[in-house]
């Protein structure tokens, strides 16, 4: 292209147009320039993803900014205890799960990124269903989520990542509104075994506010079975108001990271000892449950 | 002895081995005569699906057999039935001959990471000991699994023979032709709507080098072989300058049928699942035990292929860059080229 006269002409036209834009219209060139450079990198495929499909550039430039208004203005998320999340090295954040749609995991990811001094990325673990759905699977991988299986958790913790797990799974997310802030069973404690095996500390994380976003007052079980979903929620607004019913209620959120529970002073083989695993699982669960009750007092009315 | 010498990688390996000082004699076996140079290697015609192959092994009395006659694309074999016959029956015949032979000391099998399958429940990285059960597998994925099962059976019956299984990620490069190269060379590439699978690649030269290493050195075991790093499909298409066409599924008889009948690309179920869910494999064992370091990363492999084969596409990278520079010149009023 260098010896064709076209680019030279283009350049001259371009810089003239640029002067007009800058001097007369007051457009912030630098910011736009960065965006165009970003678009250029995306369109030519000059970016990197890690083995789990995590695309940090896309996450920081597009995905997190899309969630930020919801986080700041709608849910008014307050973060406590971020100093309990280590600056470097592996750690496993275990949190309660609620809200019919798992917005709590997205908000926790954003909370860690925006308030942590090292802007760490929380690598979330998702259910198989997440990876069966088109678009959702794709966005999940790109934002750093991977399948909640032992191999992936241990690989992530082994490479010093900060991993987020919601051990209640669908039992937590899809529980009826009447059960709000009552923790469900914490699975088989697979996350505790993984933490023990990699000697990563477990950080109990309590999320208040997600329970009220889509109060689930009913479950159309036969419809859920038909669609192959774990539940089909009926809320005061969904599905009655159609797409409008998908707008979450603007509850006030508090996310608190508790003190890390160390796992590095257990004897080898503890990860396969069901007694140790269940004990630790209960300890994490009780800590979160107790903190939830405290935080609920502190928050006061849900929509205040 | 290199079995499957008429195809590109087989021919190149035979050529490479015949230049090796520590190898006295290289014999290439296939049903048809290789069209490419096999260097100083001798060609022996034998049908791997029959006892022909046993007679060839008796006659040649090789100490090492490299099995490269496992076909990933049914078009190469002339349909799914012959493909399965060549892969499964061929491997059985070949291994039976090796088991009977007194000369064979080493067997190297060119397998593929397809044995792991791909799906929503796949872990991000498969390690060598994580081959799932054979349920829900069809087509080439099933073949690849069965071939390895026969190889494991063989190594139980002949523990004195060193067996190396190399599971290659998709091989790509400036020369080789596979289902995936055909796919990336389509002017408009069909992709699955809402899916952006991630994958690893091996450069054709790295593939040949890994096979050479396993043939010349003694490195028994099962190894994943893949270049460093990952690509996602959308990124690969942009690097190739090809627009993607999102379709709800690639598995419909309509889409698959049109592409196949037009002789453009033949996508079987294994390739479709790969293009939906992607796949990743752990390569630590390749470095520590096979002691092999690929020269080309996944991205470098793709670029080597794209530079040679997909230039001048609709969304060529040079064109995008020209536009980008023009737009940035507008915004900053300076020349951004060379930055």
Does a structural domain hold residue A104?
yes
- Taking CB atoms and an 8 Å limit, are A47 and B332 in contact across chains? no
More confident residue, A36 or B17: B17
Does a structural domain hold residue A143?
yes
Q: pLDDT tens-digit profile of A17-70?
A: 666 666 666 666 677 788 888 988 888 888 999 999 999 999 999 999 999 999
Task: For A130, name the nearest residue in chain B, comparing CA atoms only.
Answer: B120
Assess whether pLDDT exceeds 70 at residue B177: yes
Assess whether pLDDT exceeds 80 at residue B264: no
Indicate which of B331, B334, B337 best probes the interface with A, i.e. most A CBs within 10 Å of its own CB. B331
Least confident of A35-44, B19-28, B200-209: A35-44
Asked if B280 reaches chain A (Cβ–Cβ under 8 Å), the answer is yes
**What percent of chain B is modeled with pLDDT above 70?**
90
More confident residue, A144 or B334: A144
Q: pLDDT tens-digit profile of A159-208?
A: 999 999 999 999 999 999 999 999 999 988 899 999 999 999 999 999 99
Does a structural domain hold residue A50?
no
Does a structural domain hold residue A220?
no
- Taking CB atoms and an 8 Å limit, are A18 and B124 in contact across chains? no
Q: pLDDT tens-digit profile of B54-86?
A: 999 999 999 999 999 988 887 777 788 888 889
Task: For B243, name the nearest residue in chain A, comparing CA atoms only.
Answer: A43
Task: Write down the residue that tokens 């994925």 correspond to.
Answer: B141
SS3 content of chain A, % helix, strand, coil (to 5): 50, 10, 40
Q: What's the rounded mean pLDDT across residues B15-29?
A: 93
Q: What DSSP state is assigned to residue B85?
A: I
How much is the ipTM here? 0.83
Please check whether residues A78 and A38 belong to one and the same domain. no
Phi and psi at residue B132, in whole multiples of 5°? -75, 170
**What was the pLDDT predicted at A298?**
94
d(C-alpha B150, C-alpha A124), whole Å: 40
User: Between residues 41 and 100 of chain A, which touch chain B (CB distance below 8 Å)?
Assistant: 42-45, 47-53, 55
Asked if A7 reaches chain B (Cβ–Cβ under 8 Å), the answer is yes
**Strand A91-95 and strand B201-203: pairing?**
unpaired
Please check whether residues A271 and A185 belong to one and the same domain. yes
Asked if B130 reaches chain A (Cβ–Cβ under 8 Å), the answer is yes
- Taking CB atoms and an 8 Å limit, are A49 and B195 in contact across chains? no
Assess whether pLDDT exceeds 60 at residue B239: yes
Assess whether pLDDT exceeds 60 at residue B94: yes
How far is C-alpha B147 from the geometric centre of its chain's CA atoms?
15
Contact B227, B297 (CB under 8 A): yes
pLDDT grade for B226, boundaries at 50, 70 and 90: very high
Phi and psi at residue B292, in whole multiples of 5°? -125, 130
From the list A51, A138, A147, which residue is nearest B230 (CB)? A51
Please check whether residues A169 and A253 belong to one and the same domain. yes
Please check whether residues A39 and A174 belong to one and the same domain. no
**What was the pLDDT predicted at A3?**
43
Please check whether residues A77 and A169 belong to one and the same domain. yes
3-class DSSP state of A303: coil
d(C-alpha B20, C-alpha A141), whole Å: 45
Least confident of A256-270, B190-204, B256-270: B256-270
d(C-alpha A147, C-alpha A126), whole Å: 5
**What was the pLDDT predicted at B130?**
83
**What was the pLDDT predicted at B253?**
66
Does a structural domain hold residue A270?
yes
- Residue B2's alpha-carbon distances to A279, B17, B77, B226, in angstroms, are 57, 9, 18, 22
Asked if A134 reaches chain B (Cβ–Cβ under 8 Å), the answer is yes
Assess whether pLDDT exceeds 80 at residue B319: no
- Taking CB atoms and an 8 Å limit, are B198 and A142 in contact across chains? no
- Taking CB atoms and an 8 Å limit, are B125 and A151 in contact across chains? yes
Assess whether pLDDT exceeds 80 at residue B328: no
**What was the pLDDT predicted at A1?**
39
- Taking CB atoms and an 8 Å limit, are A138 and B130 in contact across chains? no
Chain-wide mean pLDDT for chain B?
Answer: 88
From the list A10, A142, A149, which residue is nearest B326 (CB)? A10
From the list A15, A30, A53, which residue is nearest B232 (CB)? A53
Please check whether residues A66 and A161 belong to one and the same domain. yes
Please check whether residues A16 and A126 belong to one and the same domain. no
Asked if B251 reaches chain A (Cβ–Cβ under 8 Å), the answer is no
Q: What DSSP state is assigned to residue B40?
A: T
- Burial class of A92 by CB neighbour count within 10 A (0 to 12, 13 to 18, 19+): buried
**What was the pLDDT predicted at A22?**
66
- Taking CB atoms and an 8 Å limit, are A147 and B124 in contact across chains? yes
| B284 interaction partners in chain A (CB closer than 8 Å) | none
- Residue A16's alpha-carbon distances to A23, A33, A124, B127, B339, in angstroms, are 11, 16, 48, 57, 20
d(C-alpha B60, C-alpha B75), whole Å: 31
From the list B194, B229, B278, which residue is nearest A48 (CB)? B229
| A10 interaction partners in chain B (CB closer than 8 Å) | 322, 326, 329
Q: pLDDT tens-digit profile of B145-175?
A: 889 999 999 999 999 999 999 999 999 999 9
Does a structural domain hold residue A88?
yes
Please check whether residues A20 and A89 belong to one and the same domain. no
- Taking CB atoms and an 8 Å limit, are A15 and B329 in contact across chains? yes
Question: How close is the nearest chain B Cα to the Cα of A45, in Å?
Answer: 4
pLDDT grade for B201, boundaries at 50, 70 and 90: very high
Domain range holding A255?
A: 56-213+248-299
Please check whether residues A91 and A180 belong to one and the same domain. yes
**What was the pLDDT predicted at B77?**
77
- Taking CB atoms and an 8 Å limit, are A11 and B121 in contact across chains? no
Least confident of A21-35, A149-163, B25-39, B318-332: A21-35
From the list A1, A7, A44, which residue is nearest B320 (CB)? A44
Please check whether residues A26 and A160 belong to one and the same domain. no
Question: How close is the nearest chain A Cα to the Cα of B133, in Å?
Answer: 17
Least confident of B69-78, B192-201, B275-284: B69-78
Q: How many domains does chain A have?
A: 2
- CATH no. for residue A92? 3.40.1130.10
From the list A47, A52, A128, which residue is nearest B120 (CB)? A128
**What was the pLDDT predicted at A248?**
94
The Cα angle at residue A128 between residues A126 and A129, in degrees rounded to 5: 95
Does a structural domain hold residue A231?
no
Does a structural domain hold residue A237?
no
Please check whether residues A126 and A198 belong to one and the same domain. yes
More confident residue, A113 or A27: A113
Assess whether pLDDT exceeds 90 at residue B25: yes
Q: What's the rounded mean pLDDT across residues B125-154?
A: 81
Task: For B332, name the nearest residue in chain A, comparing CA atoms only.
Answer: A29
Question: How close is the nearest chain A Cα to the Cα of B177, in Å?
Answer: 23
Asked if B33 reaches chain A (Cβ–Cβ under 8 Å), the answer is no
| B234 interaction partners in chain A (CB closer than 8 Å) | 45
Buried b (16+ CB within 10 A) or exposed e, B101-128: beebebbbbbbbbbbbbbbeebbbbbbb
SS3 content of chain B, % helix, strand, coil (to 5): 45, 15, 40
Please check whether residues A282 and A182 belong to one and the same domain. yes
| B332 interaction partners in chain A (CB closer than 8 Å) | 18, 29-30, 33
């Amino acid at each position: 292209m260098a010896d064709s006269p076209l680019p030279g002409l283009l350049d001259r036209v371009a810089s003239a147009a640029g002067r007009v834009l800058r001097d007369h219209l007051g457009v912030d060139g630098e910011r736009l320039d960065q965006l165009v450079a970003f678009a250029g990198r995306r369109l030519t495929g000059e970016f990197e993803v890690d083995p789990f499909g995590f695309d940090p550039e896309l996450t920081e430039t597009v995905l997190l900014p899309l969630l930020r208004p919801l986080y700041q203005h709608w849910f008014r998320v307050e973060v406590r205890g971020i100093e309990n999340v280590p600056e470097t090295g592996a750690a496993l954040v275990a949190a309660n799960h609620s809200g019919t749609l798992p917005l709590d995991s997205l908000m926790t990811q954003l909370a860690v990124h925006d308030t942590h001094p090292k802007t760490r990325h929380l690598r979330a673990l998702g259910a198989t269903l997440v990876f069966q759905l088109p678009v959702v699977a794709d966005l999940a991988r790109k934002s750093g989520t991977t399948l909640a299986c032992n191999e992936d958790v241990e690989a992530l913790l082994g490479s010093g990542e900060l991993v987020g797990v919601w051990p209640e799974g669908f039992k937590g997310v899809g529980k009826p509104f009447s059960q709000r802030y009552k923790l469900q069973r914490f699975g088989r404690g697979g996350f505790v075994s993984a933490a023990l095996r990699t000697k990563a500390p477990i950080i109990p994380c309590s999320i208040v506010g997600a329970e009220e976003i889509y109060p689930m007052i009913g479950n159309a079980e036969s419809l859920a079975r038909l669609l192959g979903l774990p539940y089909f929620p009926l809320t005061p607004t969904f599905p009655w108001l159609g797409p409008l019913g998908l707008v979450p209620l603007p509850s006030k959120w508090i996310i608190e990271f508790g003190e890390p529970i160390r796992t590095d002073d257990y004897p080898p083989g503890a990860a396969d000892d069901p007694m140790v695993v269940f004990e630790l699982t209960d300890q994490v669960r009780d800590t979160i449950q107790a903190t939830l009750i405290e935080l609920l007092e502190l928050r006061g009315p849900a929509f205040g | 002895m290199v079995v499957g010498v008429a195809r590109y990688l087989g021919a190149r390996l035979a050529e490479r081995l015949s230049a090796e000082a520590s190898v006295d004699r290289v014999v290439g076996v296939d049903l048809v005569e290789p069209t490419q140079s096999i260097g100083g290697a001798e060609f022996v015609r034998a049908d791997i699906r029959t006892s022909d192959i046993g007679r060839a092994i008796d006659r040649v009395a090789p100490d090492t057999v490299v099995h490269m006659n496992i076909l990933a694309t049914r078009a190469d074999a002339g349909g799914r039935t012959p493909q399965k016959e060549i892969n499964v029956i061929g491997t059985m015949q070949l291994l039976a001959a090796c088991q009977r032979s007194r000369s064979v000391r080493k067997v190297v099998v060119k397998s593929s990471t397809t044995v792991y399958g791909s799906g929503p429940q796949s872990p991000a990285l498969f390690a060598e000991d994580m081959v799932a059960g054979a349920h829900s597998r069809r087509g080439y994925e099933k073949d690849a699994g069965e071939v390895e099962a026969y190889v494991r059976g063989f190594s139980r019956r002949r523990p004195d023979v060193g067996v190396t299984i190399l599971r290659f990620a998709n091989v790509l490069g400036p020369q080789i032709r596979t289902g995936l190269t055909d796919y990336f060379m389509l002017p408009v590439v069909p992709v699955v709507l809402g899916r952006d699978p991630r994958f690893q690649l091996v450069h054709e030269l790295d593939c040949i080098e890994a096979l050479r290493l396993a043939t010349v050195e003694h490195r028994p075991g099962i190894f994943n072989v893949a270049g460093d790093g990952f690509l996602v499909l959308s990124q690969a298409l942009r690097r190739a300058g090809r627009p993607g066409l999102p379709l709800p599924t690639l598995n419909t008889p309509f889409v698959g049928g049109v592409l196949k009948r037009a002789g453009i690309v033949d996508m079987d179920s294994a390739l479709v699942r790969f293009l939906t869910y992607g796949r990743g494999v752990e390569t630590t064992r390749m470095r520590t035990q096979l002691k092999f370091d690929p020269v080309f990363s996944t991205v470098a492999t793709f670029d080597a292929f794209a530079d040679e084969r997909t230039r001048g596409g609709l969304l060529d990278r040079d064109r995008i860059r020209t536009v980008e520079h023009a737009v940035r010149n507008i915004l900053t009023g300076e020349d951004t080229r060379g930055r």
